[in-house]
Structure 1
Amino acid sequence: ALDYAHMRGIVHRDLKPTNILLDNDRNAYLTDFGIAKLLSGSPTTGLTSTGAVMGTPTYMAPEQWRAEPVDGRTDIYALGVILYLMLAGQVPFHAETPHGLMYQHLDMSPPAPRTINPNLPLAVEPVLGKALAKRREDRYASAADLARDLEVALTTGAPPVSSPSAPSPRRLPEQTDFEAQFASRKAAASQPGAASIPNIRLPDRTGQDSRPTVPPTGQAPVQPPIQPTIPAPTAAPPPARSVQAPLYHDPAYDQPPAYTPPEAYHYEYPPEDQQAMLGRTLWIGAAVLTGIVVLIGLVVLIMSLASGGDGSDNTSQEPTVPRVTGSPTPLFRPSAVVQSPANGTSVNLGDPVTISFAANFAQGTITRVELRRFGQVLDTINENASSVQGSFTYYPDSTGTHNMEIVPWAGDVRGDSATVSIYAQ
């Protein structure tokens, strides 16, 4: 699938295990060409511009970290990371931050796979070393070459046909080749008398001039460029003239406009004595209202005390506080805490993660505990106790941060949940 795409000038740029699907017959399918790059047309063809970095950090080649042009050998590097993971059981580079991964991909050599899995044949190491070469010129030129050497190393234990440091004779389409062709056509089109130059073919890079041959125009090839360079010093002063000075030093702009107070509304403020009178009236009214409320409260208190001390058997002992109707939020509800793993723990994609928890409800009984993500219930433990301890097993299905939530329940009452963040790479 990679060779099929590369022969058509398409680079995947985000090759990783989650983008390789298997059917029931164990046939592999390459998917998710969402950030693929087409190596044809002008140098600006593609999804990203100069300086942009795209891909999954664990599987990105050094040229992707440097935001350099990519070609099919960029995918070969990512394929080498996947093969390393399949054979050794872990990725060659691992760090807590993307900057740490970038440093390792650019400057560090991967650990020898046999130090992790001693059962691997010795011949596998040079195959993986060539696939993970820092310079793309030292990598395999096609996935077929990599598959051939890997099959020989795994079946016979023989070293690969070609040395890990020797570049492969087959070359994939490179973006720089298309840029050179585009630059040559543009340079040829700018020459006088060359309206169109069809079927331009780039010569071999053997030290010869790679520019296309343009028929002579009858003028000296050196004189035309010399003529405009003679008056160049005299044409320099006009750009140096300050054309924006009036925007900053014009006296008409240095002084702010005179302030004109609004006169359209004609609002008349009341005299000072009226404002003071209004304020005093409000304060007096508030004081009177407060006194009335306090007086009513005292009367109610005296009446309740008198009715409570008459000694009659039929006196109702109902509280004076009104009853609350409806379904208010319960004051007592269960709560949960995450015991392990620690928040922000990093794991490899697909590895099982055990999330241990403890839930307590001193005022009642816990009926179930749920594991949730994005509000969706992933797993449930049914219990009938005031204290529950247990664990869930979770398998990250994508790279990135996974926010997991432990939710205890007491019947239909949801308790205070606990969360933990897991980073999968």
Structure 2
Amino acid sequence: MASRAPRRTAGHGVLISPEVIADMRSHLPEVADRTVAAIIEEVPSYQDALAGSMGEIIRNAVQLALGGFLSLAGGRRGADPGTPTAPAMEGAYQLGRGEARNGRTTDALLSAYRIGARVSWREMSARAVEAGIPADRLAGFAELVFAYIDELSAASVAGHTDELATTGRVRERLLEHLAADLLDGATAEEVAQSVARAEWTPPTTLTAVIVPEAQARTVRAALPGVALQAVDRTDLSDDWTLLLVPDAHGRRRAGLLDLLTTRGCIAGPARPWQQARASYDRALRARAEGLSGSTEDHLTRLVLTADPEALADLREKALAPLADLRPGTAEKLADTLRSWLLHHGRREDVAAELFVHPQTVRYRMGQLRELYGDRLDDPETVLELTIALAG
């Protein structure tokens, strides 16, 4: 269903006599009081906001808006900034900006406008009827009231949107600076200052998630909390971006991983928020290994590849007894030894895995015992062989 086009006051043909306008203007304070009272009663989010001095500010704003309307109905247009309607529109715009600064959406404000239109129409139409305004002009007067409210509403929405755009960009930059501090070794004092400037409430944990750049906006929008985004990382290519996701630990981690499924992301472990770098380092290593999903599913590989040179040296040392054999023989014995270690010496299980006869396994293990001797019974040697053959 198409949305209704906003009504406009431009070109209206309603003109109320100066005497009626003066009478209505004399009652503006009462109308403003009744309007504010109705808003407080019918819009729960304004019950506290309109108390005290704030309520007085809103009453003055209502009077200003109604005064501008009466000038309009009396024949004066608002295109000239010197007329009363222009300040009313500016006031509505600033009201929208104020709502955005207070963290409220436009929903409550637009409800307040609708209530204001209803109360204002009821009050002013009663005065118009008393003044003997004919029915056809009264209908036009009603249309003008609601067109004027539409314009005030549009001005407030514009103010709200502009404020969000301005403060949103500023806060986004502050959050990006905070992410950089967490990842690049800033002091605790520097991090605390960044937290305060960004007005950020620290979570219990942060989880580093490396996301393909093309998926970053979608993933971030789907996250339940406000994720920090780290930009211009020299340790990531332009095809990837980094998000620091708050409180995705415990049972909540499953929800995060469900979101990342099929997106090619890699999620580090949840770490206390001050230790976000540790989560990022692990995710970065996993991505370098071509892994995806949760780093917790790849811990063995990550451990084994933590020091490639040390692993190569360990393999050379552990498999030295096989070094002088023909490559084909060495490979078969290594495969048998790996299976034998993993199956704790259960010959039938080894044979089933390698698709050979159990006697073949027995024969090969005999060869290996000749090469290794009693070392196959040494726990340290067994550990070294297990790690060396794990890849």
> By the TM > 0.5 criterion, same fold?
no
TM-score by length of 2: 0.21
Between Structure 1 and Structure 2, the one with more strand by share is: 1
TM-score by length of 1: 0.20
Higher relative contact order (CA 8 A, sep 6+): 2
Of structures 1 and 2, the larger Rg is shown by: 1
Between Structure 1 and Structure 2, the one with more helix by share is: 2
